[in-house]
Amino acid sequence: MTYSATARVTGPVPPPPPGRQRARGRWLLTTGLLTVLLAGTSLVAVEPLRRPLPEPTVTRTLPASTVIPGTAPTIPWPQRGQAALTVDGLGSLGTSGGSDPVPIASVAKVMTAYVILTEHPLDRGEPGPRLTVSAAQAAAYPRELARGESLVPVVAGAVFTERQALQAVLLPSANNMARILAAWDAGSVEAFVDKMNDTAAALGMADTHYTDPAGLDPGTVSTAVDQVILARKAMELPAFAEIVAQRTATLPVAGTVMNYNSLVGKDGIVGIKTGSTDEAGGCLVFAAVVTVGGRKLTIVGAVLGQPGANTPVQLDRVFRATRPLVRTAAKAIGEHAVVRAGDQVATVRGPLGAGTTINATEDLTVLGWPGMPVRLDLDLPAVPARLPAGAGHGRLTAAAGDGAAVTTALRTGEGLEPPSTWDRIRHHR
């Protein structure tokens, strides 16, 4: 019997052998476990990457203020009377003698000149408007002279420019011209005195009261501190600063007159005004210009109430008390580096322990004296996640006392990089 090669068997298929069944089951179980494990691992790895990274944090390591190192200057204050000493644009070097208002004699004429120049401003060298001496003002001259007042000779009809009148008031300290100017400006001496007191109040001179434009009346009182306030304002007026620095001037009728302030031109002194009476003693408000680090600074001070039997003695003593003050102040002012290039001002801490520093790029040098407080202001923008090494980032500003601020740029130390994906996963585990 013969069979065809294409014949099919249509009966039931026999099952595989038992060994093959067990192998297939193990394979299915292993595959399922691996799938579950891989899914879990993927979830574990992805979860920390979904969380946002915290922003870098900055910690300031430089204090907000410091002081210029060294021993503070010892000021040779006068043994009698009041005194105050300041450096314009830097601050006060102190005061002595209390703060009770005292007579100030012809120092009052600083306010007289200040009011005139604010009401009738003059440029340097400008003569200004003219004023004519009246018959009554000229007739008063002999009586004023008999009282021993400080005067310039005048005659009826004499014409003074505003500048010449101010020169008469500020150099030879002419009481009569102070009254003539007051009446010319305000219509009467009394109305002008009101202006003087209003101006004092506006300037914050709380312990000052004027009763006359010349200072002859002992009821005109002030303090050394208040007179420094006024002197600083007056020296901002170009014509005032120009006049008080003159040693002589030529006036109508009087001819050449001398400046009573014999310190002008010594120790850098450029003014301002003397005063002396029996009640006030010797008084001087002064200004001196010094150059430190290529910058011009003005020392302003006042010495009141120096004793003496007469004007020459009183002025000699106030001059002798003033010169050590000016010299000490000039010597005390210097350049001081309060931050050095490379000094660390802040640290930066990034996520997962990354970090860097913020450092000054240049020295910060201020003008001042030992013991003077210095502000250190840090301007630091928000720190990004990535910041290269040596990158500019922020500024640091220093200012000593009331002085001008100096600034340096800041830069990073090491580079700051955000953590890698692997670091984030590993840190999470």
Predicted confidence at residue 34, as pLDDT, reads 47
Residue 36 has pLDDT above 50, yes or no: no
Question: Which letter does DSSP use for residue 71 in this model?
Answer: P
Residue 351: pLDDT band (50, 70, 90) is confident
Predicted confidence at residue 180, as pLDDT, reads 98
Average pLDDT of span 157-169: 98
Phi, psi of 358 (to 5 degrees): -115, 130
Cβ-contact 365, 339 below 8 angstroms: no
Average pLDDT of span 242-258: 98
Residue 353: pLDDT band (50, 70, 90) is low
Predicted confidence at residue 39, as pLDDT, reads 46
Residue 427: pLDDT band (50, 70, 90) is low
Is the alpha carbon torsion for 103, 104, 105, 110 positive or negative?
negative
Q: Please report, in range form, the residues annotated as the binding site for substrate.
A: 273
Predicted confidence at residue 362, as pLDDT, reads 95
Q: Which of 411, 410, 414, 395 is nearest to 355 (CA)?
A: 414
Between CA 361 and CA 343 the distance in angstroms is 8
Predicted confidence at residue 384, as pLDDT, reads 83
Q: Which residues contact 265 (CB under 8 A, 6 or more apart)?
A: 247
Joined together, the tokens standing for residue 185 give 């400006």
Question: Which letter does DSSP use for residue 387 in this model?
Answer: B
Average pLDDT of span 301-326: 97
Residue 257 has pLDDT above 70, yes or no: yes
Domain boundaries, the chain: 57-69+337-419, 99-332
Average pLDDT of span 65-70: 93
- What pLDDT, in 10s, does the model give residues 267-287? 999 999 999 999 999 999 999
CATH number belonging to domain 99-332 = 3.40.710.10
Average pLDDT of span 368-376: 95
Q: Which residues contact 379 (CB under 8 A, 6 or more apart)?
A: 394, 395, 396, 397
Instruction: Residue 153: count other Cβ atoms within 10 Å of its Cβ.
Output: 15
Q: Where do runs of H (alpha helix) occur along 122-220?
A: 135-146, 162-170, 175-186, 189-202
Predicted confidence at residue 426, as pLDDT, reads 60
Cβ-contact 73, 370 below 8 angstroms: yes
Residue 33 has pLDDT above 90, yes or no: no
Distances in Å between the alpha carbon of 412 and those of 96, 260, 314, 339, 352?
A: 48, 60, 62, 16, 19
Predicted confidence at residue 293, as pLDDT, reads 87
- What pLDDT, in 10s, does the model give residues 71-90? 999 999 999 999 999 999 99
Joined together, the tokens standing for residue 104 give 């100030």
What's the first-to-final CA gap in the chain, in angstroms? 76
CA atoms within 13 A on the CB side of 41: 7
Average pLDDT of span 202-224: 98
Residue 163: pLDDT band (50, 70, 90) is very high
- Look-up of token digits 């879990």: 40
Residue 401 has pLDDT above 70, yes or no: yes
Question: What is the set of active-site residues?
Answer: 106, 109, 173
Distances in Å between the alpha carbon of 40 and those of 27, 36, 45, 88, 258?
A: 20, 6, 9, 74, 102
Burial of residue 343 (CB within 10 Å: 0-12, 13-18, 19+) is middle
Percentage of the chain modeled with pLDDT above 70: 84
Q: Which carries the bigger pLDDT value, residue 315 or residue 4?
A: 315
Burial of residue 310 (CB within 10 Å: 0-12, 13-18, 19+) is exposed
Average pLDDT of span 126-152: 97
Average pLDDT of span 386-397: 90
Predicted confidence at residue 397, as pLDDT, reads 95
Q: Mean pLDDT of all residues in the chain?
A: 89
Between CA 70 and CA 64 the distance in angstroms is 19
Question: Which letter does DSSP use for residue 148 in this model?
Answer: T
Q: Which residues contact 79 (CB under 8 A, 6 or more apart)?
A: none
Joined together, the tokens standing for residue 265 give 């031109």
Residue 231 has pLDDT above 50, yes or no: yes
Q: At what angle do helices 18-50 and 421-428 cross, to 10 degrees?
A: 100
Average pLDDT of span 393-417: 89
Average pLDDT of span 96-109: 97
Cβ-contact 328, 76 below 8 angstroms: yes
Predicted confidence at residue 31, as pLDDT, reads 57
